[in-house]
Structure 1
């Protein structure tokens, strides 16, 4: 059976009819029979040649004329999955035609090689009976394991039939596509030494109370609609009016992650012919293995720091792609929204100097992480200003695995290596490569956090 490939026109059923090797042999033999019969003056060879040519033609017409009126519904076990994990896909195929359908192979279209799932036999579908609009249905299932992050179009359903003599086969697509969101892989990371942990496993919260009596700091005047269970009777007796308890103000320690998202900072960005993405910031022409490592570290580090109790702020050096999802905190919904945004997070073109300098978040003394590969001088200058005294500043620099390095490709061999520039500015630099394990690189950050804790 030939390999099935998805078709781009999805709103109508497309039909492609091809001769099999056997059908092609019949055409060749028929042509030779006609030539030999005409040259030798033997009518029997002319008849045999015509018959041999007519068989593949009739087989093609038979395959082409097969009526099919199918409806396809596709459902994922989880509409948002993590790269490298397996999701179960369920297809429901309903037959609305007046004729039955049997002897058909099926496969579902994929946006990456081999462009279609493994083929299988479609269960026989009975015909619609009279005007009762009855139909036969079949349920198909298969497992899908996307390797890369992104938003992918799965489908359409591909069907292939063959005539009884196996002289011609026809392939057509049915139904539309369904989008599957694939988030980056989140690696389990070790606990850092940045916060002391409470007995219940949650990170310690810094509480701010105004100066003065604790009762005054925890209460306010009664307002219409306040529940009576919130009345603070001791404070009410002292003030001579009803006072109610108010929620304590919490100040969570902050952590910032600076990500270089400028396309110029990734000389290794190139075309990936094995993946076709339907939409989003990532395109087939701008995929970088070094940036993919950065995204995996970004997702894993943000989730880990968030679970340790940090308010995580992600700063992009290029145009904003995360928008309101750039702040990650305690709610699980915020974490999922952040990871979903990272599905289409990619290096983008940006004009020099388009972004102003964000205000450093140093009120809680949280760490600052930088994720870069080969940033532009403007980005390095910005990073130099972020290494403040008393703040743990750690930069992950994804270096080139090529023996020529980045300088030969950027035409700037005289430029000082990025790692050295950041070290001179006070950053702790962890040099990695795109094939290094994210969890192992994080252990070096944990060591830096312990050294920072011990020195402060």
Structure 2
């Protein structure tokens, strides 16, 4: 009863006040017929509150999102199935879904009463122009009595995540020097001194199956070693994105960081379509969800895109290069850089030496801060001197055109190397 009284609507409170006023006036004026009318007006909201408060409403909700991972700007469909598992039929239902503001206005639905065991299906669309991970839900259900005098709310505590990945653009094919340079388990290795069992082991990496630990080699070396698996050779690429706050300008979706994330996602999809297994490296280091394993796949870029969807800027000043601890080269490296300074030369130089081929997309971040600014040097001149194939990207430049420019710089570099070998 208490919960029912707390759910009195404005109409219900007005009925209660009008009934009490009629009863008081009837007593003062000595009108017995008015007392009966006032009593009826008071009893109506009280009876509704008692019935609603005693009713045991049990609702079950099934929420389905299709697809659950979308690209920024694309819609997703949310389907709701509400079931009345209680004994009593319901009155009018008001459904309100809780959504983050970037997904649009909160959907509201009004459903007629559903009897026991009946189901109702509703659907709506969500869309976001901002990448990220969003929770859809929980849902609030409000039940009204037939007279609209009492309204009670019920909330579901479940929610479903929606992943919005960065926008991507198709990139044209370009020559990728170093594409045939594998790394890790996929590289053919010559047997040297010792047995084959000694050669076909490597250091343990996060995510490796513990059943593959080779205990004899681990005891001899003093570190965990795992057995290698024979499998077809596969090209691998490292995608580096500079997400330091000091390296970017602008705010929100119009910032240079968002442009860098979109460029990195486009490059990742392009490389995967060309047969590369791609791992993601940020200024913090290697992303654990995209680390190379023995069964790395070039067709599943979902973990990498999910990592880019939630990538945020970091306040650290230097680029972490601890992920380049392995002595072997990492094959192709593509870097998406912000504003780099001379203090970053050592890290970028080490990154270039670690790669068989190094490509860099250097964002002209000054033009994000002031679009009318015409930079004298659109990219650091020392990138090319250190062996990087680099091209600049501005806020109004086409990423596909910049990618083609990288291909042309690679062709020019190859011709120059050939002339140098002939003249030598």
* Distance change in 2, residues 1:76/1:209 (3 Å): closer
Give the structure 2 partner of residue 105 of structure 1: 94
Contact 1:108/1:116 (8 A) holds in 2: no
Q: For 1:299-323, what per-residue CA distance to the aligned partner results, in whole angstroms no more than 9, with x for missing partners?
A: 2101202222345443321154x21
Give the structure 1 partner of residue 290 of structure 2: 325
Give the structure 2 partner of residue 419 of structure 1: 379
| In structure 1, distance between residues paired with 2:189 and 2:58 | 72
Give the structure 1 partner of residue 224 of structure 2: none
- Runs (5+) with no aligned partner, structure 1: 1-12, 128-134, 197-202, 212-219, 221-246, 271-286, 407-415
C-alpha displacement of 1:325: 0.8
Q: For 1:339-379, what per-residue CA distance to the aligned partner results, in whole angstroms no more than 9, with x for missing partners?
A: 2333333223447576437269996974x432233457644
Contact 2:278/2:290 (8 A) holds in 1: no
| In structure 2, distance between residues paired with 1:248 and 1:157 | 49
Give the structure 2 partner of residue 158 of structure 1: 140
| In structure 2, distance between residues paired with 1:403 and 1:422 | 24
Question: Is 1:383 equivalent to 2:348 in the alignment?
Answer: yes
Aligned residues: 359
Give the structure 1 partner of residue 121 of structure 2: 139
1:48-447 matches, within 5 Å, as 67-112=56-101, 117-122=106-111, 124-127=113-116, 135-166=117-148, 169-194=151-176, 250=233, 252=235, 255-266=237-248, 268=250, 289-320=255-286, 322-323=287-288, 325-327=290-292, 331=297, 334-350=300-316, 352=318, 355-356=321-322, 358=324, 366=332, 368-374=333-339, 378-379=343-344, 381-383=346-348, 386=351, 391=357, 393-397=359-363, 399=365, 401-403=368-370, 419-420=379-380, 428-433=390-395, 436=396, 440-447=398-405
* Distance change in 2, residues 1:186/1:161 (3 Å): same
C-alpha displacement of 1:294: 1.9
Q: Output the TM-score relative to the length of structure 1.
A: 0.60
| In structure 2, distance between residues paired with 1:361 and 1:441 | 33
Bigger drift between 255-264 and 52-61 goes to: 52-61
Q: Give SS of 2:322's match.
A: coil
C-alpha displacement of 1:295: 1.9
Contact 1:375/1:418 (8 A) holds in 2: no
Q: Output the TM-score relative to the length of structure 2.
A: 0.63
| In structure 2, distance between residues paired with 1:362 and 1:450 | 28
Contact 1:261/1:348 (8 A) holds in 2: yes
Contact 1:194/1:450 (8 A) holds in 2: no
- Runs (5+) with no aligned partner, structure 2: 191-195, 197-229, 415-424
C-alpha displacement of 1:70: 1.0
C-alpha displacement of 1:95: 1.8
* Distance change in 2, residues 1:405/1:208 (3 Å): same
Q: Give SS of 1:305's match.
A: helix
* Distance change in 2, residues 1:352/1:187 (3 Å): closer
Question: Is 1:450 equivalent to 2:414 in the alignment?
Answer: no
Q: For 1:22-57, what per-residue CA distance to the aligned partner results, in whole angstroms no more than 9, with x for missing partners?
A: 678x499969x79x979xx8788x989999898778
Structure with bigger helix share is: 2
Q: Give SS of 1:448's match.
A: helix
